[in-house]
Amino acid sequence: MLELIRLFFCGHVRLVRESASIVFGGGFPRNEGVHGRQAAQRAIFQVQRELESIQAHANAAVVLCDRGTVDGSAYWLGEGDLWSSLGVSREEELARYHTVIHLRTPSEPAAYEHENPLRVETQLEARAIDARIAAAWAGHPRMFEIPASPDFLSKAARALELLRDVVPPCCRSGVQPFLWRASDGSPA
């Protein structure tokens, strides 16, 4: 999805990669019990915040994140919560994001991507986490969900359409409606 955005939107739409991939791909311990899982979520939160800060200061009209800080609460295990462990509130974190687009995890086993070595969840575990992520973002005033679909291109087209509606006019020139509309103007 990020590659499509990079292709179709101008350079003022700055992208923030998934922090968990950076943290775990860099060797942060994984699945080290409750304490280790909590430490990982705090590290991911801090990396996410810093990456967002870098892009916000890079002449960005829009900073688009693969995931947001709120996602981490869906992975929290044990006592307490992510927010109190970091000295922030869920409401503060929700307010940091103008728009949320949640691409739901595919329900079809064949549509679930298994090639990413950093993705350790089974499809069923990923769906449970996806439900917790949706609950974590619930109540955000501009949250859009794109339903699970075995056809990634349909989901991608819907996400591009939503993004096109929230970015400044100068940033949308590369995204034309024909990318996701049938010849009669209806959604493809």
pLDDT of 20-49, one tens digit each? 999 999 999 987 799 999 999 999 999 999
Q: How many CA atoms lie within 13 A of 186 on its CB side?
A: 1
Q: Does residue 28 form part of some domain? A: yes
Count of structural domains, the chain: 1
Largest CA distance in the chain: 55
Q: Does residue 86 form part of some domain? A: yes
Whether residue 166 has pLDDT greater than 90:
no
Q: Which of 59, 61, 63, 71 is nearest to 21 (CA)?
A: 71
- pLDDT at 61 (0 to 100): 81
Position with higher pLDDT, 114 vs 10: 10
**Residue-range definition of the domain harbouring residue 20:** 2-170
C-beta separation of 156 from 163 below 8 A = no
**Averaged pLDDT, 88-102:** 96
To the nearest whole percent, how much of the chain has pLDDT over 70? 84
d(CA 109, CA 28): 29
Whether residue 185 has pLDDT greater than 70:
no
Looking up residue 69, the CATH number of its domain turns out to be 3.40.50.300
Query: pTM for the full model?
Result: 0.84
Whether residue 183 has pLDDT greater than 70:
no
